[in-house]
Chain A
C-alpha cells in the first residue's frame, strides 16, 4: 500500500514538477503570465498522438521533432504577440493585465484550432503500458519513464540555469530586469529564450502524459492552473522550488487517496496551497521583497 502510494505520488509529482518548471521559467524571466501555457502541452499530446498513429514512431523519439517546434512557436508568441504590449506598458500592473488578457485570447485561439482539428472527443492511445516490478509493487513503464524524464529535465534545467553564462543572464533578468539591462543583457532576448524553453518543457510534459492519460482539446487550462498553483506555492521564478513543490503535491495527492479518501485529493491539494500562501504570502521559497 505504502509503496503503491509512493510510486503513484512520485510519478504524478514528477509531471507536476516538470510542467511547473516550464511555467516558472517563462513567468520568472519574462514577467508575463502565459495563460496559453497548457495549450502547448495538449498540442504536443495531439501531435504525438497523430504521428504515433500514422508512422508508429515511439512518442519519446517524436520529441526530437515536437520540442523544437514548441520552442519556436513559444518564442514567436513572445516576439510577435507579447513584445508590442511589453513595449507599450507603462507600469508592471498594466503589463500584468495586458498579458493576462492577451494570453487568455491565445488560450482560446489555440484551443479553438485544436477543437476544429480534433473535435472535443476523448483521445487516448497506449504506449509502453507494461508493468514493471519495483520491489513488491508494480508500476506502468510509461509512468516510470515520465518520472525519469522529469528528473533528467529538471537536472538539466538546473545545470543550464546555474552554471552557464546564458543561464546566469536569464536569472539576472528574472531577479532584476532593469539592472540586467544596465549590465548589457538584452532583456527581450532573454524573455524570448525563456518563453521558448518553457514551451518546449510544456511540450515534453504533453508527450509524457499522452502515453497514459485520456486527454481532450480543452484540457490545457487544467494543466496551466495546476502548474500555476505549484509555481505560486514555490515562489515565482524559483526553479528548484517549483520542482520540490510539484513533487510534494503529487505525493500528497497519492497519500490522501491511499490513506484518507480519494474523494478529498483535490480538496486537500488546494487546502495545502491556500495554507501555504496564508503562512508565506510570497511562496515557500519566494523572496519577500519583489
Chain B
C-alpha cells in the first residue's frame, strides 16, 4: 500500500491514516487548466424537491458568478471551471458510488455535498478518506459535534436538531409572556428523520419551559388529510408541526379550510420555500417556519436578487443563503491559500473570517454561526426571529393574523 505525499503529511499531522486504495496523487494545476467541480445530488426521487430548491440553484449560482469573473482564482490565476453533475436518485448506495466516481474516475478538485442528512452521512466517510471538504446546510444531526471530530473536513453548517427546535419553543414562550397563548401546545411531526429529531428536541424544550403538550402525534410520510387531527386540537392556541413540504402545504390548507386559527403556528420544511408562499400568498403572513433572513441587511437582499436573476427562481429563506455563504467562504479560502489542496483550504476555512452574503463569518466551529433557525413569513420571505442572540432579528408579530375567509 502506497502512501501519497498528502496522506503522509496528513498522518504526520496526527489525523491518522485510514487504509486507502487508489488515491490519486495531487497534481499541480497547470496554467489555464480547468478546475473540476463535481457533485452528486438528488435530481430525482423523494429528495429531489428539497435538493432542487435549497442546494442545486446555489451551486449553479456560485459557478455562474465565478465564471462571470473569468473562472476560479487559484494561485493568482483564474482557471476555467468544469462542472460534473450526477444524480444520486435519493439512494444512499447510488450516492456512495457516484462520489467514488467523481473522486477516482473524474478526478475532481472540489467536491460539493449532496442534499439531506442521510445522503451526507452516507458519503461522509468517502469525503473524509479522500480528504475533501464537505460543507452542507441540509444535514441536521445531533451527532454533528461528534462527526466534526471524526471528519475534520466536515462542515455541518446547520448544526443539531435541538438548535432548530429550541428557538421555536423560545418564541412560544415569548408569545405566552405577551399573553397570546397559554401553557397548552399541540405538536405533530412527520415520521421521518427531520420530523422525529426535531419533535424530540422540541418535546424536551417544551418541558423545560413548562409547556403542556396536549397533543403530540406522528403521522406517516405522504399523509395529505389532516382534518381529523385538526378537529381534535381545535381550541389549542399554540401549534407546531415538524413536517415535510407536501404535508406542510396540506396542514396549512386544512387549517385555513377548517378555520383552525391558533395564535401561534409553526410549520416545518417547505414553509420557507417559494412554492409555499406562491401557493398561499399573503394569507400565510405571520406564520412561523424554519429558517429566516435578516431582511434589513443589504447583502441578504442583494443575494436574493442575484439568486432570482441568475437561476430564474426565488431562493428559499432557510438553507439557501447558508449554503451560498459557505461556498463563498470556500472560494475565498482557495484564493487566499492559492491551492486546491482541500486540507489546506479546510484549515483556512476554520481559521479565517470571510465576507459573505451572511456578512462577516467565521467557520471555526465548522457550523455556520448566527443563522436564523426560526422566522416569520412576511411578503414571500421569512423574517428571522430566533435564536434570539442572532443579530438583525426582525419583529415578532403576535398573534398570527387570522386566515382570510374562503
Contact = CB atoms under 8 A, between A and B. Distances in A.
Nearest to B406: A130
Contact-residue size bin, chain B (C-beta under 8 Å from the other chain): 35 or more
A174 to B, nearest CB: 32
Contacts, number: 106
A214 interface: yes
B67 interface: no
Contact of B219 (A11, A212, A254, A262): A262
Contact of B259 (A5, A138, A222, A261): A138
Interface in A1-42: 1, 4-5, 7-8, 11-12
B23 interface: no
Q: For this complex, into which size category does the number of interface residues on chain A fall?
A: 35 or more
Contacts of A8: 225, 227-228
B43 interface: yes
A157 B138 CA distance: 48
Interface string A107-150: 00000000100011110111001110000011110010000000
Contacts of B406: 129-131
Given A115-B44, A122-B245, A216 B217 contact: no
Interface stretch (B13-21, B32-40, B246-254, B293-301): B246-254
Given A7-B227, A130-B406, A263-B220, A120 B52 contact: yes
A11 B245 contact: no
A245 B223 CA distance: 20
A137 B231 contact: yes
B220 A266 contact: yes
Q: Pick from A131, A254, A262, A266 the residue with the most CB of B within 10 Å.
A: A262
B359 interface: no
B220 A261 contact: no
Contact of A120 (B45, B225, B259): B45
Contact of A122 (B44, B49, B220, B256): B49
Nearest to B228: A258
Contacts of A138: 227, 257-259
Given A126-B253, A214-B245, A121 B48 contact: yes
Contacts of A139: 227
A213 interface: yes
B115 to A, nearest CB: 12
A265 interface: yes
Contacts of B44: 115, 120, 218
A131 B261 CA distance: 14
Contact of B249 (A119, A124, A216): A124
A287 to B, nearest CB: 33
Contact of B191 (A131, A254, A257, A263): A263
Interface of A: 1, 4-5, 7-8, 11-12, 115, 119-122, 124-126, 129-131, 137-140, 143, 212-214, 216, 218, 222, 254, 257-258, 261-263, 265-267
Interface of B: 43-46, 48-49, 52-53, 188, 191, 217-220, 222-225, 227-229, 231-232, 245-246, 249-250, 253-254, 256-259, 270, 275, 279, 406
Which 3 A-B pairs rank lowest in CB-CB distance, beginning with the nearest? A120-B48, A214-B246, A262-B219
Given A126-B279, A129-B406, A130-B257, 4 more contacts: A8-B225, A262-B220, A265-B219, A265-B220
